[in-house]
């Protein structure tokens, strides 16, 4: 990322903007016409963050990252043909900014989210990584 890239990233819809959105907020997909959900702030959304780590998704419901109380609003329709999950190779991926809840859990054998809403009375979560390529749930540490 250079200065030109960062400046271009301010133009909504530009390739640079799209890259920064995906990198900092997570990948999203537009729901089929007529479908929406209500986010944690009470805002109706027509695009949903995806569980990009899901290895074999077949429907919008498989990939939608929404609260349990909104899951019924996500259609169980097949994903569009251009949605192609990519394998996660190499080192594990650690993410935040997804506001998980409940007991800390692995997203996959290669992906861990450590954001369990500590800013809103959730626990502060960490993962003790010791170089393992396949992550294990026993390595979570939580306080609060």
Residues 110 and 51 both lie in one domain: no
Residue 78 lies in a domain: no
Select from 71, 70, 69 the least CA-distant residue to 61. 71
pLDDT (0 to 100) of residue 78: 96
> pLDDT tens, position by position, for the chain (144 residues)?
899 999 999 999 999 999 998 888 888 999 999 999 999 889 999 999 999 999 889 999 999 999 889 999 999 999 998 888 888 889 999 998 888 888 999 999 999 999 998 888 889 999 999 999 999 999 999 998
Residues 62 and 97 both lie in one domain: no
- Give the Cα separation of 48 and 126 in Å (integer): 26
The model carries a pTM of: 0.82
pLDDT (0 to 100) of residue 3: 94
Please tell me the chain's helix, strand, coil percentages from 3-state DSSP, rounded to the nearest 5: 25, 20, 55
Residue 53 lies in a domain: yes
- Give the Cα separation of 50 and 43 in Å (integer): 18
pLDDT (0 to 100) of residue 6: 93
pLDDT (0 to 100) of residue 20: 92
Residues 67 and 100 both lie in one domain: no
Is 27:49 a contact under the CB 8 Å cutoff?
A: yes
How far is CA 141 from its chain centroid?
20
Residues 64 and 7 both lie in one domain: yes
Q: Domain residues for 132?
A: 93-143
Select from 138, 100, 106, 97 the least CA-distant residue to 122. 100
Residues 58 and 107 both lie in one domain: no
Residue 83 lies in a domain: no
pLDDT (0 to 100) of residue 41: 87
Tokens (6 digits) for 118: 């500590």
pLDDT (0 to 100) of residue 120: 85
Residue 11 lies in a domain: yes
Domains of the chain: total: 2
Residues 61 and 7 both lie in one domain: yes
Residues 67 and 108 both lie in one domain: no
Residues 16 and 69 both lie in one domain: yes
Residue 49 lies in a domain: yes
Residues 7 and 51 both lie in one domain: yes
Task: Name every residue whose Cβ is closer than 8 Å to that of residue 104 and which is 6 or more positions away in sequence.
Answer: 114, 116, 123, 125, 137, 140, 142
């Amino acid at each position: 990322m250079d200065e030109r890239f960062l400046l271009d990233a301010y133009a909504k819809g530009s390739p640079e903007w799209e890259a920064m959105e995906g990198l900092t907020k997570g990948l999203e997909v537009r729901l089929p016409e007529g479908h929406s959900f209500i986010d944690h702030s009470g805002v109706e959304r027509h695009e949903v963050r995806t569980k990009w780590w899901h290895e074999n998704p077949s429907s919008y419901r498989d990939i939608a990252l929404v609260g349990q109380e909104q899951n019924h609003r996500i259609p169980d329709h097949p994903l569009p043909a251009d949605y192609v999950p990519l394998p996660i190779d190499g080192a594990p991926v650690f993410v935040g900014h997804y506001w998980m809840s409940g007991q800390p859990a692995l997203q996959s054998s290669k992906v861990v989210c450590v954001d369990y809403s500590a800013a809103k009375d959730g626990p502060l979560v960490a993962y003790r990584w010791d170089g393992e390529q396949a992550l294990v749930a026993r390595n979570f540490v939580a306080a609060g």
